Amino acid sequence: MVRVMVCGALGRMGREVVKTVVGDDRLQLVAAVDIRADGQDAGAAAGLKTGVTVVRDLTAAIEASHPDVGVDFTQPAAAMANIRTMLAAGVRPVVGTTGLTLGDLDEVGRLCDQTGLPALIAPNFALGAVLMMKLAVEVARYMPQVEIIELHHDQKLDAPSGTALRTAQLIAAVRGELRQGHPEEEEKLAGVRGGTVAGIPVHSVRLPGYVAHQEVIFGGLGQTLTIRHDSISRESFMPGVALACRKITGAHGLVYGLENIM
Question: Is the dihedral angle over the CA atoms 106, 120, 30, 99 positive or is it negative?
Answer: positive
CB-based contacts of 84, cutoff 8 Å, min separation 6 = 111
Nearest to 261 by CA among 113, 127, 99: 127
CB burial of residue 33 (10 Å; 0-12, 13-18, 19+): buried
CB burial of residue 103 (10 Å; 0-12, 13-18, 19+): exposed
Q: In whole angstroms, give the CA distance from residue 160 to residue 216.
A: 14
Q: In angstroms, how far is CA 188 from the centroid of its own chain? A: 34
Question: Which residue of the set 49, 134, 156, 203 is catalytic?
Answer: 156
Nearest to 165 by CA among 234, 210, 251, 104: 104
Q: In whole angstroms, give the CA distance from residue 230 to residue 211.
A: 8
Question: Which residue of the set 19, 152, 213, 229 is catalytic?
Answer: 152
Catalytic site includes residue 153? no
Catalytic site includes residue 19? no
Nearest to 74 by CA among 126, 122, 16, 14: 14
Which positions are catalytic? 152, 156
